[in-house]
Amino acid sequence: MQREVERIRKDIKRLRIQGARNVAKAAMAAMGVIARKSKAESREELVNEFLVAADELASARPTEPMLRNALRALFAHMRRSKGDVVELRKLVEKEELEYFRRMKRDEERIAEYGGRELSGSSVILTHCHSSSVVSILERANELSKGMEVICTETRPRFQGLITAKELSRAGLKVTLIVDSAVSHFMKDVDAVVVGADAITAKGDLINKIGTCGIAMIAHEHGVGMYSAAETFKFDPLTLWGGIERIEERSPEEITNPKKLKGVEVRNPAFDVTPARYLTAYITEMGVITPQSLLNVVMREGIEKLY
Amino acid sequence: MQREVERIRKDIKRLRIQGARNVAKAAMAAMGVIARKSKAESREELVNEFLVAADELASARPTEPMLRNALRALFAHMRRSKGDVVELRKLVEKEELEYFRRMKRDEERIAEYGGRELSGSSVILTHCHSSSVVSILERANELSKGMEVICTETRPRFQGLITAKELSRAGLKVTLIVDSAVSHFMKDVDAVVVGADAITAKGDLINKIGTCGIAMIAHEHGVGMYSAAETFKFDPLTLWGGIERIEERSPEEITNPKKLKGVEVRNPAFDVTPARYLTAYITEMGVITPQSLLNVVMREGIEKLY
Amino acid sequence: MQREVERIRKDIKRLRIQGARNVAKAAMAAMGVIARKSKAESREELVNEFLVAADELASARPTEPMLRNALRALFAHMRRSKGDVVELRKLVEKEELEYFRRMKRDEERIAEYGGRELSGSSVILTHCHSSSVVSILERANELSKGMEVICTETRPRFQGLITAKELSRAGLKVTLIVDSAVSHFMKDVDAVVVGADAITAKGDLINKIGTCGIAMIAHEHGVGMYSAAETFKFDPLTLWGGIERIEERSPEEITNPKKLKGVEVRNPAFDVTPARYLTAYITEMGVITPQSLLNVVMREGIEKLY
Amino acid sequence: MQREVERIRKDIKRLRIQGARNVAKAAMAAMGVIARKSKAESREELVNEFLVAADELASARPTEPMLRNALRALFAHMRRSKGDVVELRKLVEKEELEYFRRMKRDEERIAEYGGRELSGSSVILTHCHSSSVVSILERANELSKGMEVICTETRPRFQGLITAKELSRAGLKVTLIVDSAVSHFMKDVDAVVVGADAITAKGDLINKIGTCGIAMIAHEHGVGMYSAAETFKFDPLTLWGGIERIEERSPEEITNPKKLKGVEVRNPAFDVTPARYLTAYITEMGVITPQSLLNVVMREGIEKLY
Amino acid sequence: MQREVERIRKDIKRLRIQGARNVAKAAMAAMGVIARKSKAESREELVNEFLVAADELASARPTEPMLRNALRALFAHMRRSKGDVVELRKLVEKEELEYFRRMKRDEERIAEYGGRELSGSSVILTHCHSSSVVSILERANELSKGMEVICTETRPRFQGLITAKELSRAGLKVTLIVDSAVSHFMKDVDAVVVGADAITAKGDLINKIGTCGIAMIAHEHGVGMYSAAETFKFDPLTLWGGIERIEERSPEEITNPKKLKGVEVRNPAFDVTPARYLTAYITEMGVITPQSLLNVVMREGIEKLY
Amino acid sequence: MQREVERIRKDIKRLRIQGARNVAKAAMAAMGVIARKSKAESREELVNEFLVAADELASARPTEPMLRNALRALFAHMRRSKGDVVELRKLVEKEELEYFRRMKRDEERIAEYGGRELSGSSVILTHCHSSSVVSILERANELSKGMEVICTETRPRFQGLITAKELSRAGLKVTLIVDSAVSHFMKDVDAVVVGADAITAKGDLINKIGTCGIAMIAHEHGVGMYSAAETFKFDPLTLWGGIERIEERSPEEITNPKKLKGVEVRNPAFDVTPARYLTAYITEMGVITPQSLLNVVMREGIEKLY
């Protein structure tokens, strides 16, 4: 059992599980595993097991508010319930299912709203891999045939190749380019859409390294810049001045550092795109400007987050 | 003999010889080879051999005005001379040497002027590999110790690793990043300096793919954007509306296209940075704004070019 | 009776009734006509008549959320009432009056708030004809004498001439110019104010063709760009990615197409001004930035809209 | 007694009491003085005394919404209470204390949130003197040692020297410059933070003359521009088109006008920084974009203000 | 004879002759008429006749440097010649022919250089009517089939309809729009090209009213903005601070002013586009940035102008 | 004699002589003093005296290319002359007079060209004190009555008060403001004009601290930014990457540093305004864009400089 949770944690840490949503789902699945397989005999013992696991999962990746929001919501539910160890197991299993159901529903809404929003574009550029973005582009292509998508390869781990394959299989016309070719192709692009790892109180987007540069280039061409994101990716800590930590990953993802004696290899996984370079977030609540998101989330989503 | 010229042509075409200056030098060397080894017995025969070789060399790489300018200047010299086959051989050998000498002198001046210009900066970003840029950075570091340089890896062919190694060996503090991390690090950068493949009459810079995006990001941060370039890289054809052709190289440089069935892989080698995103060209004549270059070249360099 | 409704529909379609507010009022008046004159004998029959008429009215002009919002609110009232055919007639007549009353009150508030906001400006530019804008400018001129207004003629239908006449009659100093003279006069302008046909969830403004260009020119001069709009012009559908359809009207409004064989004449009636080019909306709730509007409307106006 | 209130009024008017918070506190203290020392024998008489004093205090400085908001909130409390003259005295004394307590709590929160937000910066520029800003910078320096602050001298009254002294005493590295040297030093600055005198419904900042120019210069360099402000500084009147009056102070603060015969000396105390030049407000509710502030205040703060 | 010159002057004044080039040609033709038909019997008498006519022609339209440059060059030739009345007649007739020949050659070069420069664009927008622009677009369409052109109608005199007809006849795909629809269509445009009435020493473009607004809109979309212009349109007076006078034409071109009592109708014929909104001038000397033009003209064209 | 030269040097150093032109004139006057009063008996001796004095004068102020250019030109004349000590004295006296004459002529031309260029503006802002600017504004006011000028006080040495007095005496309407009030008044300004201390090869302007910030604020408002400058202020060294040294003056000019223990007071006298924030230089050769200046100076002025 512990092994299963540990395996999930490692898969998250080593990027075998990728994308904010998959990571959050995996963490919820890990909680479900504990609910089903723990040998705890008292509520206290069980809650403690959950807490230890949650802590380990949350620290596997520093830039993952969706993961932390999911766990935080789960513990809020636990606190409200006064049940014994058996009821607690059931509650967590139910919440795990509920979380998956809501994720699915949110995903469908994002695909639908984003598909409509982008159906007027004929060439769209995307960066890295995001299943929300893939769903949006497939839906947009249903609504308005003949859509072309330009995918960056997305160094250092080439996730753009996954996007290219999935979209090509879905029947879209796909072009693959190196990351630095974005400005060369931007003049033909009608809109850019990327995923999201986290959203701050200022409406800034934390996403795969390279996103901010693409947003600036889109801005210079007057091209719309969208991010597809569940409002669950909003990081409440940033409201109180908490700076989103940018994870730096191993230099070995980029090159063999031994061959570059004396050279420091830096590998930040994300960057921050200021709100003013973004047109809108495509969320399960609708297509919303970065400056509105805080208020929308505070009104409708505040309970979700704590 | 023909084989030697052919080998040079292939090395140029296959990017084994890289950088506008090295390519131009190689072409001049090829002309020297012919001068020394041709079996031509008349001036006509010899000139013809030169022309055939020049044509092949010029077409090996479409975006190389420095190569074309060098050959054009050589033929102008030949035309002015009325000598016989022996004298022509000598003339070409002399011009080959003269060209190398001028290249060297221009290189030294660019290193000196650029070194002074950038000596006030403490963190400089560069892209791809340019020997002029390396010389400038070494000189700047002599003038103002403790300089740090951020090098992009420069996909698809990773020339940035060469830059990183050379600068590190020369004692500079070097950081290597992926191309799309430029905007993440730009806030700490004082100036950007890149090389040049060609310069148009409008002052636009043609350089390694990715340069234009970097220039836009620098512009958003109010960071100076320099290109180190001999005025020989000015392409006179662009004055009459000739659009600089952007070479597209093999998709295989990026990925194995067979694994991406149905996906088009595009690999443009260069992009165009509009003059308004550039602070200045660092040339052998001085540090000059893009808008001044046409006039400076027309005044001083016009004979050089035809 | 039907003829009266049909006449209203035609007047809307043929632009004899213009301006989002007048169009919405006319549609409500048409519903009143039905309430008063329908021969329907059952609630079902009467509701059906309303629905048929509403459908025809709504489709007379595609870019009119205010019209659709008014009808939608009316049907919400009908649904909540369980009364018979007689009570339903009364309810619709009452709602018609109530709608007119609220329109009037909103209009007065917009005039007041806008008048105050613009009272510090001495030269104001406007485009097309909007009764809200005329009221604002009259009020601003009361608060701060000697105001000058520059009116564009507003091709193709010259509604700017109506604005010019009304403002001149009201005692303001008025200048009329062709649409393309806007940038020439902008350096003397302190603020721009236009009406609104629709507002999207992103805060973008849909208004008479030419508005977006004026907004960009104002932006280049650092001149404030306002739109006077009841919050009823917010189009809720745009929250879910619905793209506002831009009506294209007959080419004959522009020229006689027969004289231009082989030339396509395009006549879009509106354009979309992105939120970032707008300073604020002047609404009956106050002077609000485009990015705030969604939240203000969602909090206070949501019932109004459905 | 009256003399004590009168003295406070004069100290406010003559800038002996400075900073929006100190002014508001002084006004509340004046109300406490009346509560304690008035000889009024009826509720009516006492209320009247409060009103007269409030009126005089409010008009001592035209650009002080925080002062007006504090008084407005106090009167709202009085209205809700139905008590007699004795109870009213107690209520006002209690509210005075409560106001001080809340100010203190808000100040601590602003220091904490702002300190965290800016802890990632190493060089920060500030203008004029704001106790909130001083607290933020001290907190930021605790979180991230070695912070440098550049202070403008802030003509005409040199309040920047107070800031410089306080920060230096608190152990920060401080540099003092003339106001017009801001653009010269901006290239080394990571963030700017200033106080606030008032905030409008559009999110515009009213603050010490010079703030808008600094914001534009920061914008050109892509440097974050923050204002530290209690939400109590939001001016509700601006929602309805009320233009914030900019106080013009005596020319003698600048120079001896007699020596400049025929020259008009203008001395506006504040300027207006449009929302689009601001990164965020640091408030007691969190770090919030200018466009969100209206909605946040309307949701949580509306009772406070009326 | 005088009547013939007078007729030309009137045709110029009343816009029956339009376009800077046609106006200059007509003025040269008028000089030829005098040369052929004058009854002058001495050189002095003839020169005087030329001067009187030149003065009248030059004052017929205030914004026409090309006209003034042509006459100025002609008088320079006369001054250099010392011949008698007969020889002077011959000289003027020769210069008339020579001027026409050069105009033709310049026109062909502009068509060629501009055609090449724009051959990479697929949708081009133009404003008003310029024969140079029509030639460029025809040439570009030969080089790169399937070009689409968007023409504005160009109020108040609808010259855009002439452009639309000519291009349509020449086989291009043409769309006609009202002037204020430019921003709506700009997102699909690859380049803008217009004519020129005059160019200042700062590189600013004086052209048909509306040009500056189009340039600003193009700038916001990162779209290239070209002006086709003989260097003869450079106005040397602007070097010494002479401000180009903007002709205001009759209000009756816009509307019947009697119907708009109390409204001032303003009808400036041209506006000024600052150099920074222009990509390049397409001249007979090549494609040149606005900032380079002064230097190019001073080097090569100075004799032409005086 | 030496004392007279020494006094001039001190007056330059201590800013008793101010403005690039006055400094250059004073240096030339010092050379004249030597020519007249030196007791040197041989050419060598005299030249040596000139060299020693020139060296001392040139180092009195680091940012003064006009001073260095004047001396450099003088020595070029000396070198060309082969005369003996008597002839050399005469030559220097003649060159001194000639320099004053040319300065006067250049000044008149700048006043005339600038006066015309700005005669269309009604409100002009200036910074610091420049006699060229004063002359231009007087001339502009002659051409177009009723001109208003806004003068900054120009900390730390309040030279703006001199400008205010001179313009007021000359009959212009003058307003004095603190430096940081520039952005508050910019919305009413039609043009900004300042002097120049030096101009770089990139067209950047070195001028009184604060100029760059004013230029950025003007840029945000689309207001023209002019610098009045003899081409003699062009610094040829900057062409080869020499960075213009920015003089830092004594902190005591700002405040008494003893009262600010632990605070560093920085007092740079100049800043650098990048060419892209400048509309044009008003020179004795005409009104020229920053990007053209290098070419204009190289063509016409090169002998002047060496």
Q: Is the pLDDT of residue E300 over 60?
A: no
Segments of F9-147 assigned E as strands = 123-126
Tabulate helix, strand, coil % of chain B (nearest 5). 55, 15, 30
Distance CA A180, CA F203 (A): 31
Other C-beta atoms closer than 10 Å to the C-beta of E99 total: 21
Between residues A95 and E19, which one has the greater pLDDT? A95
Q: What SS3 state is found at A214?
A: helix
Torsion of CA F89, F94, F95, F101, to 10 degrees: 160
Interface test with E, best of C126, C179, C180, C244 (most E CBs within 10 A): C180
> Which of C182, C212, C252, C263 is the best residue to mutate to test the E interface, defined by the most E CB atoms within 10 Å of its own CB?
C263
Distance of residue C188 Cα from the nearest chain F Cα, in angstroms: 9
On whether any CB of chain E is under 8 Å from the CB of B242, the answer is yes
Q: Is F191 helix (H, G, I), strand (E, B) or coil?
A: strand
- Is E73's pLDDT higher than 90? no
Q: Do D240 and C287 touch (CB under 8 A)?
A: yes
Quote the tokens at residue B140: 């700047």
**Active-site annotation holds for C197:** yes
Closest residue of chain F to B279, computed from CA coordinates: F202
Cβ atoms of residues C209 and C154 within 8 Å: no
Per-residue model confidence (pLDDT) at position F1: 53
State chain C's mean pLDDT as an integer.
92
From chain C, pick out residues whose CB is under 8 angstroms from the CB of F222: 187, 220-222
| Per-residue model confidence (pLDDT) at position A301 | 47
- What's the pLDDT band for B237 if we cut at 50, 70, 90? confident
CATH superfamily assigned to domain A2-106:
translation initiation factor eif-2b, domain 1 (1.20.120.420)
- What share of chain C in percent tops pLDDT 90? 77
Chain C positions touching E213 (Cβ under 8 A) are: 180, 182-183, 213, 217
* Contact call for B266 and A165, based on CB within 8 A: no
Torsions phi, psi of B209, nearest 5?
-45, 130
C/F Cβ contact: 3+ pairs below 8 Å: yes
Q: How far apart are CA F118 and CA F193, in angstroms?
A: 9
Pick from E243, E292, E298: which is nearest to F117 by CB? E243
Residue C188 annotated as catalytic: no
Question: How large is the average pLDDT for residues D36-40?
Answer: 92
* pLDDT score of B29 more than 50: yes
Give the model's pLDDT for residue F227. 98
Three-state helix/strand/coil letters over D48-113: HHHHHHHHHHHCCCCCCHHHHHHHHHHHHHHHHCCCCHHHHHHHHHHHHHHHHHHHHHHHHHHHHH
pLDDT single digits (tens) A92-110: 999 999 999 999 999 999 9
pLDDT reported for residue D305: 43
Instruction: Decide if E174 contacts E162 (C-beta within 8 A).
Output: no
Class (C level, CATH) for F108-305: alpha beta
- Whole-number pLDDT of residue D44: 92
How would you list the strands of the sheet with C270-273, edge to edge?
C198-199, C205-208, C270-273
What are the tens digits of pLDDT across the range F100-110?
999 999 999 99
Identity of the amino acid at D65:
P
Mutate to test the interface with F, among E206, E212, E234, E239 (most CBs of F within 10 A): E239
pLDDT in tens, F1-26: 578 889 999 999 888 898 888 899 99
The reply to whether residue F282 touches residue E241, judged by beta carbons under 8 angstroms, is yes
Counting one residue from chain E and one from chain F, the pairs whose CB atoms sit within 8 A come to 54
CB atoms closer than 10 angstroms to residue B84: 11
Among chain E residues, the shortest Cα distance to C269 is held by E181
> Above 60 in pLDDT, residue C48?
yes
The dihedral sign for the CA sequence E136, E140, E141, E146: negative
pLDDT at E54: 92
Q: What is the mean pLDDT of residues F192-201?
A: 95
Those of residues 267-286 in A touching chain D at CB distance below 8 A are 274-276
- Residue D22 pLDDT exceeds 50: yes
Q: Which residue of C has its CA nearest to E177?
A: C266
CA distances (Å), A173 to each of A124, A167, A168, in order? 11, 8, 6
Which residues is A263 bridged to in the sheet? Answer: B174
Q: Of the given ranges (A243-252, B165-174, D254-263), which has the lowest mean pLDDT?
A: A243-252
Interface B:F, Cβ pairs < 8 A:
55
Look at residues B152, B147, B177 and name the one whose alpha carbon lies nearest to residue A265: B177
- Segment F20-34 shows an average pLDDT of 92
Contact: chain C with chain B (3+ CB pairs below 8 Å): no
Q: Which of A110, A147, A90, A124 is nearest to A20 (CA)?
A: A110
Q: Which of A84, A151, A179, A197 is catalytic?
A: A197
Residues 180-209 of A with CB under 8 A from D: 201-203
Q: Quote the pLDDT of residue A29.
A: 94
CB-count exposure of residue B223 (10 Å: 0-12, 13-18, 19+): buried
Residue C218 has pLDDT above 50, yes or no: yes
Residue ranges of chain D that CATH labels 3.40.50.10470 = 108-305
Strands D198-199 and D205-208: antiparallel
Residue D219 touches chain A, beta carbons under 8 Å: no
- Confidence at F305, pLDDT banded by 50, 70, 90: very low
The pLDDT tens digits of the residues spanning D215-245 come to 999 999 999 999 999 998 999 889 888 777 7
Do the Cβ atoms of F240 and B113 come within 8 Å?
yes
Residues B274-297 pLDDT 10s: 999 999 999 999 999 999 999 888
Query: Which residues, including other chains, have CB under 8 Å from residue B110's CB and lie 6 or more apart?
Result: B132, B135, B136, B228, B229, B230, B282, B283, B284
Looking at residue B302, its pLDDT comes to 43
pLDDT (tens digit per residue) in F222-254 = 999 999 999 989 998 888 887 777 889 999 999
pLDDT for B303 equals 45
Active-site amino acid positions of F: 128, 197
Query: Residue B240 and residue E114: Cβ atoms within 8 Å?
Result: no
Out of A87-101, D119-133, E63-77, F100-114, pick the least confident.
E63-77
Average pLDDT over residues E250-266: 94
Residue E305 has pLDDT above 70, yes or no: no
Mean pLDDT across chain D: 92
At residue F306, the pLDDT reads 37
- Tell me the average pLDDT across A207-224: 97
Q: How confident is the model at residue C306 (pLDDT cuts 50, 70, 90)?
A: very low
pLDDT band for position C41 (50/70/90)? very high
Cβ–Cβ below 8 Å for E202 and F287: yes
**Given CB atoms, is A162 within the 8 Å cutoff of chain C?**
no
For residue E275, give how far its alpha carbon lies from the nearest alpha carbon of chain F (Å).
9
> For residue D238, what is the nearest residue in chain C, using CA coordinates?
C287
pLDDT category at F300 given cuts 50, 70, 90 is: low
pLDDT digits (tens, 9 = 90+) for C275-294: 999 999 999 999 999 999 99
Evaluate if residue C301 carries a pLDDT over 50: no
Q: D114 to chain A: which residues are within 8 Å by CB? A: 241
Partner D, chain F 121-160, Cβ-Cβ below 8 Å: 127, 151-156, 158
Q: What is the pLDDT of residue D1?
A: 53
Beta-carbon contacts of residue D33 (< 8 Å; ≥ 6 apart)? D1, D4, D5, D8
Residues F98, F99, F101, F104, Cα dihedral to 10°: 170
Residue E267 predicted with pLDDT over 50: yes
Provide mean pLDDT across the span C206-233: 96
- The DSSP annotation for E254-287 comes to T--GGGGTTEEE--BSEEEE-GGG--EEEETTEE
